[in-house]
Amino acid sequence: MNQALRSESGVRLAQHVHPWRAPVLPLPAATLLLLRDTSDGVEVLMTRRSTKASFAPGAFVFPGGVVDPSDALAQGLDPALLEPARLACWQSLSRLEHRQLHQVYAQAAVRECWEELQILLAKSSSDGERINAAGLNERMDGLQRQPAEGFSQALFKRGLVAAIDQVRSFSHWTTDRDLAKRFDVRFLVARAPEGQVAVADEGEQFEPCWVRPNEALARHAQGSFLMIFPTIKTLEQLVRFQTVDQVVKQAEQSFEEGRLWRSCPRGAYLASKEVRFTEDDMPFAELELVCPDGQLLHPIDWQHDKPVALLRYLYRYTAGNPGRMTGPGTNTYLLGQPGNWTVIDPGPDLAAHVQGIRAFTKDQITRILCTHSHLDHSPAAFSLQAAIQDANGLHVPILGRASGPSVDANQAFSPDQTLEDGDLIAVCDEVHLRVIHTPGHASNHLCFLIEEDGILLTGDHVMNGSTVVINPPDGDMQAYIDSLKRLERLDLNYILPAHGYVLGAPAREIRKLIDHRLLRESKVLESLRRLCDAGDSSEAFSVEAIVPGAYPDVPAALYPLAARSLLAHLLKLEHDGQVLQSGQGWQIA
């Protein structure tokens, strides 16, 4: 990639649809989930924020607030740890710094919990031992919510210190980039102390209540318990735990292993309503690409009637062929500029889709590219070519690779120009496509790399939200995995699949696909081994017999589809010398 100015995503700044601007640096904040066990499961303490609050007015939240320099000093640490610019680069912090930050955030969470709800997590300052409820209540007598001498000093006068050893880091949220007021928030968990009753300050917080996570979520869905996105997602994570000990143990383990759950969500519009997504959600990378600084501008509804801008030179136009195999439909990509368009995967032969491509490009198409010849990708190439020829007398060439000899006659494909691995196509000014031959899903499958921005158009080789069927004989599992490994080595910023939203973290996503296929292969082998162990030593087993054991996570209605890829796995295993074919069946070698 060239040395042009780039956004954090690696894409050239000048090519973003919406300009990138550095977001406001977030202030450190802490929030504490006080938990207790009940006969109905775990409950968490929540309160309602003031309707006049500048942030999340009227929402039910966990107690918490902004971290103060005094919280660091109370732990004998430098307040410089809390500098926003430093916190923004949390990935580069050392293990020691992460532990120190946990101490500071835990101190702040304990302080805020006292200020807002008069619930105190404290222990003896002399020996660090816990104090029983009666003794702690006696020492708390007369303690102001915000002591003039400072929280930690007031505790020390009473022979107490904040019991941060009872607090665990649970997750790390950073406020969305599009907001003017942002916070770097650590969500922490602790078992609620016995013998204390929450009393709201009636200024910032109101109506303290104990609630089960699933109950809070249900009430929110009904519109009677307003919550903001991080609170909702946190409760969704809590639902799976049966006891407080489970929550605390999992939180401690995740933190110690460096797996603290973190998110800086992004917003979009869906059905004209504002929605938020975390990094694990399918639309996230698309929002990162289109709205790099978090602008709330991008609708993620699937558009079948018009192209959607992804970059200044790149549009996605989804065909109206949604289904089990195609997801929301086949993505046609339009690259270039007025007067010079390259069309990739025109899709199935749908008149409305072909007409939509023509209307957007005004028939000013320089070339048509096909990633492969399957019926949801290539037929419209010839309809589009013929329509432009009839209307304008112009011959637009179709580029790709011819279908293999084993494909069905209705999928036979012969392009005007054969593309070879490594070919370079000049799309328009400073936009070039590198051709990559990626057999596996189909023998003639191609991917196209936008070299200037590290964006890979993957056709069906990599999809968002599903795995592709490998259907022998044209489909080849070994070739598919080898092609994935080749793509994994590329320096990529994004993947644009033929089905689904834009994908981020390409190397990770490709590795997940490789690992998934190899795991499935092991299940295929194990399923066949169990059948062989239970049957006659000379017995061979059909693909259909092997499917249930190899695909226990797949509904029976999908077994015929699974059988195609299972056969591809068996052929690979046969090549590897682990199984052998006997008549119409299979055996362990």
The verdict on residue 414 lying in a domain is yes
Q: Are residues 220 and 332 in the same domain?
A: no
d(CA 549, CA 557): 15
> Does any domain span residue 71?
yes
* CATH code of residue 582: 1.10.10.10
3-state secondary structure string across 272-340: CEEEEECCCCCCHHHHHHHCCCCCCCCECCCCCCCCEEEECCEEEEECCCCECCCECCCEEEEEEECCE
* pLDDT value at 129 more than 90: no
Residue 156 lies in a domain: yes
By the 8 A CB rule, do 330 and 348 touch? yes
Nearest alpha-carbon partner for 98 in 321, 254, 204: 254
How high is the pLDDT of residue 140? 86
Q: Could you tell me if residue 296 is inside a domain?
A: no
Please give the residue range of the domain that contains residue 469: 309-319+327-504
Q: How far is CA 335 from CA 163, 278, 313, in A?
A: 59, 29, 6
Cβ distance 32 to 112 under 8 Å? yes
Sheet holding 331-337, edge to edge: 308-311, 314-318, 331-337, 340-344, 365-369, 398-400, 417-418
- How many structural domains compose the chain? 3
230 and 111 in one domain? yes
Both 499 and 382 in a single domain? yes
Residue 4 has a CB neighbour count (10 Å cut-off) of: 13
Q: Are residues 90 and 221 in the same domain?
A: yes
Judgement on whether residues 450 and 584 belong to the same structural domain of the protein? no
Spell out the alpha helix ranges (H) of 89-165. Answer: 95-117, 133-140, 151-157
The set of residues, in sequence order, having a beta carbon less than 8 Å from that of 249 and lying 6+ positions away, is none
For residue 1, pLDDT over 60 is answered with no
Residues 530 and 497 in one domain: no
Q: What is the pLDDT of residues 224-269, one digit of tens each?
A: 999 999 999 999 999 999 999 999 999 999 999 999 999 999 999 9
Q: Do 144 and 89 fall into the same domain?
A: yes
If one compares 532 and 535, the residue with the highest pLDDT of the two is: 532
pLDDT score, position 2: 57
Same structural domain, 83 and 162: yes
Residues 547 and 491 in one domain: no
Q: Could you tell me if 42 and 140 lie in one domain?
A: yes
Of the candidate ranges 51-60, 112-121, 291-300, 359-368, the one whose mean pLDDT is the lowest: 51-60
The enclosing domain of 377 has a CATH number of 3.60.15.10
Which pLDDT does position 348 carry in this prediction?
97
Q: Is the pLDDT of residue 126 over 90?
A: no
Cα gap 293→285, rounded to integer Å: 12
Are 493 and 564 in a shared domain?
A: no
535 found inside a domain:
yes
Tell me, rounded to whole angstroms, the distance of Cα 249 from its chain centroid: 25
Residue 208 has a pLDDT of 96
Confidence check: pLDDT of 28 > 80: yes
CA distance 349 to 357: 12
Task: Based on the fold, state whether residues 119 and 38 are members of the same structural domain.
Answer: yes
Between residues 134 and 378, the one the model is more confident about:
378
Among residues 469, 504, 539, the one where a domain terminates is 504
* 9 part of a folded domain: no
Q: ∠359-360-362 over CA atoms, to 5°?
A: 60
- From 475, 504, 533, the end of a domain falls on 504
* Separation CA 44–CA 31 (nearest Å): 12
Q: Assess if residue 13 is contained within a domain.
A: no
DSSP state of 500: S
Model confidence band, residue 3 (pLDDT cutoffs 50, 70, 90):
low
CA 345/CA 498 separation, integer angstroms: 8
Residue identified by tokens 């990509």 is 333
How far, rounded to the nearest angstrom, does the alpha carbon of residue 502 sit from its chain's CA centroid?
11
Q: How far apart are CA 537 and CA 515, in angstroms?
A: 31
| Domain membership flag for residue 304 | no
| Residue 84 and residue 23 in contact, taking contact as beta carbons nearer than 8 Å | no
**Alpha-carbon distances, residue 428 vs 219, 257, 299, 339, 431 (angstroms):** 53, 47, 27, 10, 5
